[in-house]
Structure 1
Amino acid sequence: MIQLKKPQEIEKLRKANQIVAQTLDFLEENIKVGMSLKQISQMAEEFILSKGAKPSFKGLYGFSGAICTSLNQICIHGTPNDTLLKEGDILGVDVGTLLDGYYGDAARTLPIGQISSKDAELIACAKDALYHAIDIIREGMHFKELSYALQEFILQRGFVPLRDYCGHGIGKTPHSEPEIPNYLRAGVNAKSGPKIKNGMVFCVEPMVCQKDGTPVHLNGKWDAASKDGLNTAHYEHCLAIVGGRAEILSQS
């Protein structure tokens, strides 16, 4: 069952997500060539704690880092390690917070110095797909229609969505119903399943691959990459449905 949040709950979620957005802004301004992924995770953890929140990914399902640091071919759930950033890398940073019992969650893929035109297109696809989804979300729309719209946007840009992963509901738990894949499974009617309603809060997160959306894992169950071995991109916002439209909670 997809929970409907009361206005005061949405405000608590907004506060948790504002710290996520501030953390992402901080990382975007301060990440530099030569930093290690562990160093970046530690920077993020210290920043989140300074805002009175906790890094909600730390220890979640056994994850070791404070944030996900997904480098180049890693699309999501990248584990912070001693790898050093170099010029031309692209880095996905996925941040979660816990504040007063409510969770925040958002992500961006950042260019490290000068990147290739293909990687710039890849990042733009993930970001633009997210904002396209936000623009078209309406009360009464089926979640599967949203998944189909994300898929078509990504395909029209010449890329493919990562499969087997999805956006999700969020509230007093970090992940809940609904699941929101970035594609419509074969043979499924887009006008079926649950509909979007006022009071719902969920995360939409396009995960974009270049040629093959089949996931492979490079570190146990973490570090989800594309089977094609090429670079990937990921963007995410936490949204509340208010007045029939999507309102971004994860912005500063």
Structure 2
Amino acid sequence: MSREEQAVAEGGRRAPEPPIHGPEGFEGMRRAGRLTAEALDLLVEAAQPGVTTEHLDKLAFEFGMDHGAYPASLFYRGYRKSICTSINHVVCHGIPNDKPLREGDIVNLDCCLILDGWHGDSSRMAYIGEVPRKAQRLCEITYEALMRGIRAVRPGGSTNDIGRAIQSYAESERCSVVRDFCGHGLGRVYHDAPTILHYVEPSYDVPLKAGQFFTIEPMINLGRPAVKVLSDGWTAVTRDRSLSAQFEHTVAVTEDGYEIFTLSPKGLDQPKPHGTEAD
């Protein structure tokens, strides 16, 4: 979600305060989150050299339909695909097309499925064949940044705890955190309160309470954090053409910490390289 969408997400249906969900919400989100994770398992395994992102988009749509779910991004604000596929220096919102994936690419696969009215939202990086070590390292740093952000979630904490954990780690590894996009609350609404920044912002700090649901989805660049959106109105790329990576989970604040709804049943949350080559 872009910063511009924070106050107007879902056509004004965004809640003024982060909704608090009960047992029904947790059960609904577990089902939606698991189904989204299963879809990403399928996509990560299918992402190979020569495969088009259009093919991956079709797989995601058919998987959702076969399981009674609908892709949240399809026709959302005019977007015409079921997933986003962001390759190499594309930060987010890459649009699937007929161009084949190439050996050495890294690609973010972002999928949100609606099941029985509940949204499961997640993304992962996939390695396309053998990838350079610098690209692998970026993906490893980004995944660790995500997990550090998740481990900072607890009732009585705040959203800046999440941003601090992500920013301090990424910058210690000489990477940068994208500021233009953020995580978001969700449940029965696709984009809801609270906004989850992946860096510290003293002027914005929301208390975390048990029953809140939201995504954490840091975008980490090898170069500078600045991005630009291309003329299609969706595709965001790094201004310096440096590599970018993103991982995303849907999480809940629980009475004693957090719960991740979108863990991979196959353990494919982290990309599994087929090999490495020199930079």
Band of TM-score, shorter chain: over 0.9
Aligned with 1:222: secondary structure? coil
Structure 1 runs (4+) deviating above 4 angstroms are: none
Number of aligned pairs? 248
Matched, 1:232 2:244: yes
| Stretches of structure 1 lacking an aligned partner (at least 5 in a row) | none
Q: 1:130–1:236: 8 Å Cα contact kept in structure 2?
A: yes
Which residue identity is paired with 1:34?
Answer: G
Moved more, 114-123 or 29-38: 29-38
Matched, 1:179 2:191: no
* Aligned match of 1:69: 85
Matched, 1:16 2:32: yes
Matched, 1:197 2:209: yes
* Aligned match of 1:222: 234
**Which of 225, 239, 244 is the aligned partner of 2:256?**
244
Q: 1:106–1:250: 8 Å Cα contact kept in structure 2?
A: yes
RMSD over aligned CA atoms reads 1.2
Aligned with 1:82: secondary structure? coil
**1:219 Cα deviation from its structure 2 partner:** 4.0
Question: What percentage of residue pairs aligned between the two structures are identical?
Answer: 31
Q: 1:162–1:226: 8 Å Cα contact kept in structure 2?
A: no
Equivalence map 1:47-126=2 (5 Å) = 47-126=63-142
**1:136 Cα deviation from its structure 2 partner:** 2.5
Aligned with 2:63: secondary structure? helix
Distance 1:71 1:47 in 2: 22
Note closer, same or farther for the CA distance 1:110–1:242 as it changes in structure 2 (3 Å cut).
same
Moved more, 139-148 or 198-207: 139-148
* Aligned match of 2:181: 165
Aligned with 1:193: secondary structure? coil
Q: 2:238–2:244: 8 Å Cα contact kept in structure 1?
A: yes
Q: TM-score, normalised by structure 1?
A: 0.95
Q: 1:201–1:238: 8 Å Cα contact kept in structure 2?
A: yes
Distance 1:244 1:133 in 2: 16
| Stretches of structure 2 lacking an aligned partner (at least 5 in a row) | 1-16, 266-279
Distance 2:256 2:207 in 1: 12
Distance 1:159 1:73 in 2: 14
